[in-house]
């Protein structure tokens, strides 16, 4: 059954202008093309949620002008309920100018107009029925965002907050959010950190979680994909490789796709994978709502990706270990995967091996000539601050694996240390490795995998 979603947000008429580059101060440039089209973060998300399978009701405010009527009709064509689309008596419809460069990057200037005329009475009217979730953004007056979240919370409606545009919003006033989803710029505005490295993501997520009490933090990171933080664990999801035309609505489509899938079955991993595919398709077309894909298009893309994975030959992990590893490391590796069971299989990828446990992705690992004199086992993507898994480190000797030579005296190949906390602060990589575990060390590895089986990246390097 399609989830019933209430979207409260902005709606604008967009003017999109295409140019090779931005003009310098005082310079005039000729635009290669321009077009008008419906936009606004709220409207984009409402349309996307509808096209991606949700039953959507949209609350917004338009002006009593030609643009306003066009915007209403556009929503209705996309099967979005306009029952609570209000008309301002004192403001024109919202308007945005989007300057898009040849590489697909853009600059946006928004005049909110009627969007900031939305009031509490308009919000109250919409809450006369139940919804499975609320999607809201920051292109409305601050007090309206806070009020709408209060009304949803009173009714136990999960709240999904897209933190665009980048504002220093008082997150403390909208507590107990289900999903808080900023992009890189918005993250920096809200907490002073840009989510680039795993360490940055974790620190930023911890700050945002403390401020908002959000259950899930999902970073939208463009061509770098997405990152999900929940209960102290960070999980990254790579982006799809596509030809970029226009990134205007990609974040809105991502948020809507994630919301529809999450509110359908509560599976966040599946929701982010779906959102990644939807956002990738959105950047292949120009315009805001014109770029929103349908559920069928997203499912087709995900099916093609899964087919490509299936076409990569799967091999038994034990066969690979016999071929690539020798001596004591081979024995211990076989011991480890025998413990994991016969349901472990292996997919040969371009950059690594992907291990599957009972058909589900468990971890990745790689085999290559990292050191001639020793065999190594390594893993990354763990939350090293978790007390539950920190204890086993006391029995394992670790070694930093950075080989860039630019990290300073604390980051030289061959320097061994016992690590109880996070990776070396001065190292360019968060990956850690341990030396040929056996006995207690091997048992510690098993314990770690057992605790966080789906959140471990395991690499075998020979």
Nearest to 63 by CA among 123, 17, 111, 107: 111
End-to-end CA separation in angstroms for the chain: 50
- The strands making up 432-435's β-sheet, listed across from edge to edge, are 416-417, 398-400, 432-435, 376-380, 457-461
Quick check: 67 and 13 in contact, CB under 8 A? yes
At 429, is the secondary structure helix, strand, or coil?
coil
What does 137-189 look like in DSSP terms, one character per residue?
-SSS-HHHHHHHHHHHHHTT--EEEE--S-----GGGS-S-SEEE-BHHHHHH
The question of whether 252 is a catalytic residue gets the answer yes
Between β-strands 216-220 and 179-181, what pairing exists: parallel, antiparallel or unpaired?
parallel
SS3 label, residue 49? helix
> Which residue in the list 252, 319, 348, 410 is annotated as catalytic?
252
Q: Which two tokens stand for residue 141?
A: 């007056």
Return the closest-CA partner of residue 132 out of 255, 19, 2, 8: 2
β-strand pairing of 376-380 with 457-461: antiparallel
Report the alpha-carbon distance of residue 217 to residue 178 in Å, rounded: 9
Distance (Å, whole) CA 439 – CA 436: 10
Instruction: Provide the edge-to-edge strand list for the sheet that holds 94-100.
Output: 33-39, 12-18, 94-100, 106-111
**Residues identified as active-site:** 252
């Amino acid at each position: 059954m399609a989830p019933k979603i209430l979207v409260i947000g902005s709606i604008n008429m967009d003017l999109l202008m295409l140019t090779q580059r931005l003009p310098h101060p005082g310079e005039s440039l000729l635009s290669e093309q321009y077009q008008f089209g419906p936009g606004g973060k709220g409207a984009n998300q409402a349309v996307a949620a509808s096209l991606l399978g949700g039953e959507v009701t949209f609350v917004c405010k338009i002006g009593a002008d030609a643009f306003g009527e066009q915007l209403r009709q556009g929503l209705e064509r996309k099967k979005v309920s306009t029952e609570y689309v209000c008309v301002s008596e004192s403001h024109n419809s919202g308007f945005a100018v989007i300057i898009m460069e040849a590489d697909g990057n853009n600059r946006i200037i928004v005049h909110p107009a009627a969007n900031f005329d939305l009031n509490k009475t308009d919000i109250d009217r919409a809450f006369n029925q139940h919804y499975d979730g609320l999607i809201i953004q920051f292109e409305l007056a601050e007090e309206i965002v806070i009020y709408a979240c209060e009304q949803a919370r009173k009714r136990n409606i999960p709240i999904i907050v897209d933190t665009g545009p980048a504002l220093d919003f008082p997150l403390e006033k909208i507590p107990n959010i289900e999903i808080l989803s900023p992009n890189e710029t918005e993250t920096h505005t809200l907490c002073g950190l840009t989510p680039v490295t795993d360490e940055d993501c974790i620190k930023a997520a911890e700050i945002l979680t403390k401020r908002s009490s959000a259950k899930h933090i999902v970073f939208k990171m463009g061509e770098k994909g997405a990152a999900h933080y929940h209960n102290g664990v960070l999980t990254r999801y790579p982006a799809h490789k596509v030809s970029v035309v226009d990134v205007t609505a990609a974040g809105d489509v991502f948020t809507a796709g994630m919301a529809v899938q999450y509110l359908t079955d509560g599976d966040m991993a599946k929701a982010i994978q779906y959102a990644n595919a939807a956002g990738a398709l959105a950047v292949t077309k120009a315009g805001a709502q014109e770029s929103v894909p349908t559920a069928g298009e997203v499912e087709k893309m995900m099916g093609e990706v899964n087919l490509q994975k299936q076409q990569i030959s799967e091999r038994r992990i034990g066969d690979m270990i016999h071929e690539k590893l020798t001596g004591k490391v081979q024995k211990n590796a076989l011991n480890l995967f025998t413990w994991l069971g016969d349901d472990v299989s292996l997919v040969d990828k371009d950059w690594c091996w992907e291990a599957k446990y009972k058909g589900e992705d468990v971890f990745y690992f790689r085999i290559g000539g990292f050191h001639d004199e020793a065999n190594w086992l390594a893993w990354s993507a763990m939350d090293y601050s978790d007390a539950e898994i920190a204890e086993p480190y006391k029995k394992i000797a670790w070694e930093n694996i950075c080989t860039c030579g630019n990290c300073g005296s604390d980051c030289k190949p061959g320097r061994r240390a016992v690590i109880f906390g996070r990776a070396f602060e001065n190292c360019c990589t968060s990956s850690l490795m341990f030396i040929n575990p056996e006995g207690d060390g091997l048992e510690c590895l098993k314990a770690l995998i057992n605790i966080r089986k789906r959140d471990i990246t395991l690499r075998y390097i020979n």
